[in-house]
Amino acid sequence: MSQSKHEIKNLFCKSQARMHAGLLVMLMCTYLFSANVAILYVLVYDFLMRIYMAPHMSPIYSISTFLVKITGANKQYADENAKEFASHVGLTLLFAALGAELLNEITAAYLLVGFLSVWKIAEATNGVCFACKFYELLKSRNIELESL
């Protein structure tokens, strides 16, 4: 009798992730063009709710889920571990941008949000997640992230 080991992975919908990235890009560009700090608070709140609480508590995630449903986008699923790592990287960049904004280092805040915007544009348009690729590189080198 052979036993096979099945690993149950948490999966995420790639279409929903791309839609979410597009909405984040719109918000980040709004911040870059308006310099309204409240937008950074909304972005940080969204990331915190999606990562640490429950995705349905994130307003941007809820909107992107609704948009995927009404557009009938093709649902493709992938492993969630890389995406979770990418979310933590994004949250770290947003916290750094918010800290820079509060310390009146506006240029640094703009650079951080601009950098994250470029990443999210690549994800929204081409499905390329740079932080996910970095996670896969770490994993290929047998580097395991224990806790984020």
**pLDDT number for residue 9:** 52
Amino acid at 62: S
In the chain, the percentage of residues whose pLDDT exceeds 70 is 92
| 36-57 burial: b if 16+ Cβ within 10 Å, else e | eeebbebbeebbebbbeeeeee
At residue 60, the pLDDT reads 93
- 8 A C-beta contact, residue 15 and residue 73: yes
In residues, how long is the chain? 148
80-120: pLDDT as tens digits? 888 889 999 999 999 999 999 999 999 999 999 999 999 99
Cβ atoms 19, 62 nearer than 8 A: no
Query: Across the chain, how many H-helices and E-strands are there?
Result: 6, 2
Tell me what pLDDT residue 148 has.
Answer: 59
Q: Which range (3-7, 11-15, 88-92) has the least confidence?
A: 3-7
Q: Is the dihedral of CA 130, 118, 80, 94 positive or negative?
A: positive
